[in-house]
Amino acid sequence: MSGRHDSIGLEMRIEAGTERLIREIEAVAGASNVRMGPAVEPYRWDALGSGRGYADFDRLSPSPFCAVRPGNTDEVASIVRLAAAHRTSIVPFGGGSGLMGGAVAVKPSVVVDLTRMDRIIRIDGEGLTAHVEAGTVLQSVNEALHEHGLMLGHDPWTVGIATVGGAIATDSLGYRGARYGSMGQQVLALTAVLPDGRVFSAGSAAKASVGPDLHRLLIGSEGTLGIVTEATLRVFPLPEKQVFQALSFPSFESGFAAVLDIDRLMLEPALLDFGESYSQEGVEPPKLYLGFEGFAEGVAACSARTRVVCAERGGQALPPEEAEQFWEHRHDIGDRYAERRRTGMSRPQVPMGFDFVHVTLPASQVLGYRERSLDIIRRNRVEPIEIGVWCRPQLVSVVVASEANGDGRERLSKSVDEMLMLAQDLCGSMEYCHGVGLRLAHLMEREHGAGLEVLRAIKRALDPQGIMNPGKLGL
């Protein structure tokens, strides 16, 4: 009997502690900016949906007990200090568009929703930088930059919902990545709140040689080492000219050879999307979508040379309208997801099993990887949807599907893991775009080897209580 009373007493103490923490957080951010009960439901999930090949999805029970919307870095720091004092987990949250479960609260947690922090603090047209708060949606940054004749180099499919902080947290890649690189490559400086509530600023708008670039410690860390609250980003002039091309090739091998030629010649398209699509009717001829932008003479020269290169590899030009349509509709899927979140969608549902790999490989291994991936797909009785490369010849994507019932999701999960591990075995990396989150955490030791203990040592040094976005990155 005494054991039962002890258990009840512990539960009451936990509830009382949570209630005190919520009241203290309300005193910092204002009661109207703290959400509890049913209002927390949208914060329980990001875009890691039920149809993905994630074997542990059904065992997830996201546990945010409140969500707070701070208004500035000082409020974030105060909230983090309160959570640390209560030994309570913290989960940063932006647009909720992450595909790997990086914003899912695996323990009872305070969710820190940064979307009130959406100020564009300064745009420097001469220095080509923008200083913004982390909760600013990428599209909003672009709209402000356009008024100054500037733009972001980061252009993901979720540009209408993804936030600056979320893109930094995963070091994500977008449609313009072939020319401008990943989000992390565009971060010059940042401000973050560490797990004990200290405010940390690092980086410079110009080159510095004063030891390691400490701001890069937070890029790709998925909120496990701190919460990014502000960033200074490199921005770019709006292009004088844009030219789009679409081509078809007689084989995957010939199209990939053209992609290699483009890369070797450093022609630097802003858009490079090459791949083949599969259906019940068979394999469609592979297509290459290219976009060049910048000063007019450079665009004309690069696009003309590219047409010659592709023709030498058997490429046949498709109507330019096809490439323009591809470009115009590149954000459609992300826009639909953003609308579902705005109208109250919580747990994402997918009617069929669907998953993908985005792996990095030595270019010399890409063709062999494609063939071995098709073998894996056939052996696990799942369906190939697309295989191709994105932005650079080393960045390979495979999309697969299966029925969502029976053992379909198990076979999907097995095939994806086999393709991820194959990439690692070929001296590559298991992800180049969306981060790790929960979805890929089980393969982090295989990815990093002894390096994972280095990451864990950094985590222990900065976050000895383990309260900052626990369960992510295999940390």
CB 433 within 8 A of CB 172: yes
Quickly state the pLDDT bin for 346 (edges 50, 70, 90): low
Quickly state the pLDDT bin for 5 (edges 50, 70, 90): very low
The answer to which of 208-212, 401-405, 446-450 has the lowest mean pLDDT is: 401-405
Domain endpoint, select from 318, 336, 362: 318
Residue 465 in domain: no
Together in a domain, 358 and 419: yes
Quickly state the pLDDT bin for 316 (edges 50, 70, 90): very high
Main-chain dihedrals φ then ψ at residue 256, nearest 5 degrees: -65, -35
Together in a domain, 422 and 357: yes
On the question of pLDDT at 16 being above 90, the answer is no
Residue 391 in domain: yes
Q: What is the mean pLDDT of residues 136-144?
A: 98
Together in a domain, 211 and 136: yes
Residue 444 in domain: no
Cα dihedral 214/216/219/223 (nearest 10): -20
Q: What is the mean pLDDT of residues 155-178?
A: 97
Residue-level pLDDT at 348: 59
Residue-level pLDDT at 408: 86
Together in a domain, 355 and 418: yes
CB 207 within 8 A of CB 226: no
On the question of pLDDT at 6 being above 70, the answer is no
Residue 458 in domain: no
Residue-level pLDDT at 202: 92
Share of the chain above pLDDT 70, in %: 95
Please choose, from the candidates 154, 178, 176, the residue with its C-alpha nearest in 3D space to the C-alpha of residue 391.
178
Main-chain dihedrals φ then ψ at residue 172, nearest 5 degrees: -75, 165
Residue 101 in domain: yes
Together in a domain, 46 and 22: yes
Q: What is the mean pLDDT of residues 220-246?
A: 98
Residue-level pLDDT at 11: 38
Cα dihedral 251/257/263/264 (nearest 10): -170
Split into its structural domains, the chain has a count of 4
On the question of pLDDT at 340 being above 90, the answer is no
Together in a domain, 125 and 232: yes
On the question of pLDDT at 209 being above 90, the answer is no
Together in a domain, 287 and 313: yes
CATH of the domain at 105: 3.30.43.10
Together in a domain, 164 and 139: yes
Domain endpoint, select from 299, 318, 337: 318
On the question of pLDDT at 327 being above 90, the answer is yes
Quickly state the pLDDT bin for 9 (edges 50, 70, 90): very low
Together in a domain, 18 and 59: yes
Question: How far is the C-alpha of 233 from the C-alpha of 181, rounded, in Å?
Answer: 13
Residue 334 in domain: no
CB 316 within 8 A of CB 15: no
Together in a domain, 92 and 173: no
Query: pTM to 2 decimals?
Result: 0.93
Q: pLDDT (tens digit, 9 = 90+) per residue, 45-82?
A: 898 888 888 888 888 889 999 999 999 999 999 999 99
Residue 212 in domain: yes
CB 235 within 8 A of CB 129: yes
CATH of the domain at 294: 3.30.70.3450
Residue 472 in domain: no
3-state secondary structure of 287: strand
Using CA atoms, how far residue 454 sits from 188, 420, 449, in Å, is: 24, 22, 10
Residue-level pLDDT at 58: 83
Q: What is the mean pLDDT of residues 222-241?
A: 98
Please choose, from the candidates 45, 61, 141, 159, the residue with its C-alpha nearest in 3D space to the C-alpha of residue 93.
45
Residue-level pLDDT at 239: 98
Q: What is the mean pLDDT of residues 192-210?
A: 91
Q: What is the mean pLDDT of residues 215-223?
A: 96
Together in a domain, 222 and 159: yes
CATH of the domain at 178: 3.30.465.10
Domain span at residue 366?
351-435
- Chain centroid to Cα 22, Å, comes to 30
Residue-level pLDDT at 350: 60
Domain endpoint, select from 221, 237, 253: 237
Q: What is the mean pLDDT of residues 227-245?
A: 98
Using CA atoms, how far residue 24 sits from 18, 28, 462, in Å, is: 10, 7, 24
Q: pLDDT (tens digit, 9 = 90+) per residue, 267-297?
A: 999 999 999 999 888 899 999 999 999 999 9
Together in a domain, 173 and 222: yes
Using CA atoms, how far residue 189 sits from 168, 312, 316, 459, in Å, is: 11, 44, 44, 21
Residue-level pLDDT at 347: 62
